Amino acid sequence: MKKSLGKRAGNDQAGFSLIELLVTLVILAVGLLGLAGLMMDGLRNNQSAYLRTQASILAYDMADRIRLNRGQARVGMYSGYSTAGNGAITSLPTCVTAATGCTAADRVTLDKAEWTREIQGIGNGSALLPSGVGTIGADSSGNITVSVSWQETQWDEAAGAKALVTQQFDVVFRI
Protein backbone atom coordinates (compact mmCIF):
# COMPACT_ATOMS: atom_id res chain seq x y z
CA MET A 1 0.00 0.00 0.00
CA LYS A 2 1.20 3.45 -0.89
CA LYS A 3 1.21 6.24 1.64
CA SER A 4 0.65 9.79 0.59
CA LEU A 5 3.02 12.25 2.22
CA GLY A 6 1.83 15.64 3.46
CA LYS A 7 -1.83 14.98 2.86
CA ARG A 8 -4.28 13.74 5.40
CA ALA A 9 -7.45 12.11 4.45
CA GLY A 10 -10.60 14.27 4.77
CA ASN A 11 -8.79 17.59 5.28
CA ASP A 12 -9.41 19.20 1.89
CA GLN A 13 -10.34 22.85 2.53
CA ALA A 14 -12.75 24.71 0.29
CA GLY A 15 -13.55 28.43 0.77
CA PHE A 16 -12.71 30.77 3.65
CA SER A 17 -12.68 30.05 7.31
CA LEU A 18 -14.53 32.33 9.70
CA ILE A 19 -11.24 33.77 11.03
CA GLU A 20 -10.06 34.71 7.55
CA LEU A 21 -13.38 36.41 6.85
CA LEU A 22 -13.22 38.43 10.09
CA VAL A 23 -9.62 39.54 9.39
CA THR A 24 -10.67 40.65 5.90
CA LEU A 25 -13.59 42.65 7.33
CA VAL A 26 -11.33 44.37 9.88
CA ILE A 27 -8.83 45.35 7.18
CA LEU A 28 -11.65 46.64 4.96
CA ALA A 29 -13.16 48.65 7.86
CA VAL A 30 -9.81 50.29 8.67
CA GLY A 31 -9.37 51.20 5.00
CA LEU A 32 -12.85 52.73 4.82
CA LEU A 33 -12.22 54.77 7.98
CA GLY A 34 -9.02 56.12 6.44
CA LEU A 35 -10.91 57.03 3.27
CA ALA A 36 -13.59 58.82 5.31
CA GLY A 37 -10.87 60.81 7.10
CA LEU A 38 -9.35 61.86 3.78
CA MET A 39 -12.76 62.96 2.54
CA MET A 40 -13.34 65.07 5.66
CA ASP A 41 -9.96 66.78 5.21
CA GLY A 42 -10.88 67.49 1.60
CA LEU A 43 -14.20 69.03 2.63
CA ARG A 44 -12.49 71.21 5.24
CA ASN A 45 -9.94 72.44 2.71
CA ASN A 46 -12.71 73.03 0.18
CA GLN A 47 -14.61 75.20 2.69
CA SER A 48 -11.50 77.30 3.33
CA ALA A 49 -10.97 77.78 -0.41
CA TYR A 50 -14.64 78.71 -0.83
CA LEU A 51 -14.41 81.41 1.87
CA ARG A 52 -11.22 82.85 0.35
CA THR A 53 -12.92 82.94 -3.06
CA GLN A 54 -15.93 84.78 -1.62
CA ALA A 55 -13.62 87.31 0.07
CA SER A 56 -11.76 87.82 -3.21
CA ILE A 57 -14.99 88.41 -5.12
CA LEU A 58 -16.23 90.91 -2.52
CA ALA A 59 -12.93 92.82 -2.39
CA TYR A 60 -12.58 93.08 -6.16
CA ASP A 61 -16.25 94.06 -6.45
CA MET A 62 -15.67 97.11 -4.23
CA ALA A 63 -12.37 97.89 -5.97
CA ASP A 64 -14.21 97.99 -9.30
CA ARG A 65 -16.94 100.21 -7.82
CA ILE A 66 -14.28 102.64 -6.56
CA ARG A 67 -12.50 102.68 -9.92
CA LEU A 68 -15.80 103.54 -11.63
CA ASN A 69 -16.37 106.48 -9.29
CA ARG A 70 -12.80 107.81 -9.44
CA GLY A 71 -13.65 111.45 -8.75
CA GLN A 72 -15.31 110.68 -5.42
CA ALA A 73 -12.51 108.27 -4.49
CA ARG A 74 -9.86 110.94 -5.08
CA VAL A 75 -11.53 113.27 -2.57
CA GLY A 76 -11.67 110.49 0.04
CA MET A 77 -15.37 109.61 -0.01
CA TYR A 78 -14.67 105.85 0.16
CA SER A 79 -11.71 106.05 2.53
CA GLY A 80 -12.09 105.07 6.19
CA TYR A 81 -15.23 102.98 5.68
CA SER A 82 -15.97 99.74 7.54
CA THR A 83 -18.94 97.40 7.23
CA ALA A 84 -18.73 96.68 10.97
CA GLY A 85 -20.24 98.73 13.74
CA ASN A 86 -22.68 101.62 13.78
CA GLY A 87 -21.05 103.44 10.87
CA ALA A 88 -22.03 100.76 8.38
CA ILE A 89 -24.50 101.89 5.72
CA THR A 90 -27.17 99.26 5.10
CA SER A 91 -30.09 101.18 3.61
CA LEU A 92 -30.10 102.01 -0.08
CA PRO A 93 -30.30 105.70 -1.05
CA THR A 94 -33.57 106.99 -2.54
CA CYS A 95 -31.88 107.79 -5.85
CA VAL A 96 -32.03 104.08 -6.73
CA THR A 97 -35.74 104.33 -7.52
CA ALA A 98 -35.69 107.93 -8.77
CA ALA A 99 -36.15 108.60 -12.47
CA THR A 100 -33.11 110.90 -12.51
CA GLY A 101 -30.74 108.25 -11.14
CA CYS A 102 -27.88 108.71 -8.71
CA THR A 103 -25.27 111.45 -8.56
CA ALA A 104 -21.61 110.54 -8.02
CA ALA A 105 -21.97 111.27 -4.28
CA ASP A 106 -25.14 109.16 -4.10
CA ARG A 107 -23.26 106.41 -5.90
CA VAL A 108 -20.73 106.29 -3.04
CA THR A 109 -23.54 105.68 -0.55
CA LEU A 110 -25.09 103.08 -2.85
CA ASP A 111 -21.76 101.27 -3.30
CA LYS A 112 -21.14 101.18 0.45
CA ALA A 113 -24.69 100.01 1.20
CA GLU A 114 -24.66 97.24 -1.41
CA TRP A 115 -21.21 96.04 -0.34
CA THR A 116 -22.24 96.00 3.33
CA ARG A 117 -25.42 94.11 2.49
CA GLU A 118 -23.43 91.50 0.54
CA ILE A 119 -20.89 90.99 3.33
CA GLN A 120 -23.46 90.92 6.16
CA GLY A 121 -26.07 88.96 4.22
CA ILE A 122 -28.77 91.62 4.56
CA GLY A 123 -31.58 91.09 2.08
CA ASN A 124 -30.47 87.68 0.80
CA GLY A 125 -30.76 85.90 4.13
CA SER A 126 -27.22 84.61 4.60
CA ALA A 127 -23.84 86.25 4.95
CA LEU A 128 -21.24 85.21 2.40
CA LEU A 129 -18.53 85.08 5.06
CA PRO A 130 -18.73 84.08 8.74
CA SER A 131 -18.13 87.22 10.84
CA GLY A 132 -17.21 89.05 7.64
CA VAL A 133 -15.97 92.65 7.77
CA GLY A 134 -14.98 94.89 4.88
CA THR A 135 -12.81 97.98 5.22
CA ILE A 136 -11.55 100.63 2.81
CA GLY A 137 -8.46 102.69 3.49
CA ALA A 138 -6.29 105.11 1.55
CA ASP A 139 -2.81 106.48 2.02
CA SER A 140 -1.31 109.84 1.06
CA SER A 141 0.23 108.51 -2.17
CA GLY A 142 -3.15 107.56 -3.65
CA ASN A 143 -3.10 103.84 -2.87
CA ILE A 144 -6.45 102.42 -1.85
CA THR A 145 -6.68 99.20 0.15
CA VAL A 146 -9.88 97.18 0.16
CA SER A 147 -9.76 94.49 2.87
CA VAL A 148 -12.21 91.71 3.59
CA SER A 149 -11.74 89.64 6.74
CA TRP A 150 -13.62 86.63 8.08
CA GLN A 151 -13.26 83.92 10.70
CA GLU A 152 -12.78 80.22 10.14
CA THR A 153 -11.78 77.23 12.24
CA GLN A 154 -8.25 75.92 11.71
CA TRP A 155 -5.89 73.61 13.53
CA ASP A 156 -3.62 75.46 15.96
CA GLU A 157 -0.32 73.58 16.33
CA ALA A 158 0.70 75.46 19.49
CA ALA A 159 -2.55 74.71 21.30
CA GLY A 160 -2.96 71.25 19.81
CA ALA A 161 -6.61 71.95 19.07
CA LYS A 162 -8.90 73.73 16.66
CA ALA A 163 -9.10 77.50 17.03
CA LEU A 164 -11.07 80.33 15.47
CA VAL A 165 -8.68 82.27 13.21
CA THR A 166 -9.27 85.60 11.45
CA GLN A 167 -8.29 85.52 7.77
CA GLN A 168 -7.94 88.56 5.53
CA PHE A 169 -7.87 89.25 1.78
CA ASP A 170 -6.52 92.61 0.57
CA VAL A 171 -6.67 94.39 -2.77
CA VAL A 172 -4.33 97.37 -3.13
CA PHE A 173 -4.59 99.63 -6.17
CA ARG A 174 -3.97 103.20 -7.25
CA ILE A 175 -6.57 105.51 -8.76
Q: What is the extent of the structural domain holding 48?
A: 18-174
* Nearest in space to 144 (alpha carbons), one of 55, 90, 70: 70
* Nearest in space to 166 (alpha carbons), one of 156, 154, 148, 152: 152
Count CB atoms within 10 A of the CB of residue 91.
10
Residue 5 lies in a domain: no
Q: How many domains does the chain have?
A: 1
Residue 137 lies in a domain: yes
Share of the chain above pLDDT 90, in %: 51
Residue 67 lies in a domain: yes
Dist. CA 84–CA 127, nearest whole Å: 13
Dist. CA 65–CA 111, nearest whole Å: 7
pLDDT tens for 11-28 read 666 667 888 889 999 999
Residue 37 lies in a domain: yes
Residue 101 lies in a domain: yes
Residue 3 lies in a domain: no
Dist. CA 47–CA 27, nearest whole Å: 31
Residue 118 lies in a domain: yes
Dist. CA 58–CA 137, nearest whole Å: 15
pLDDT tens for 58-94 read 999 999 999 999 999 999 999 999 999 877 887 888 8
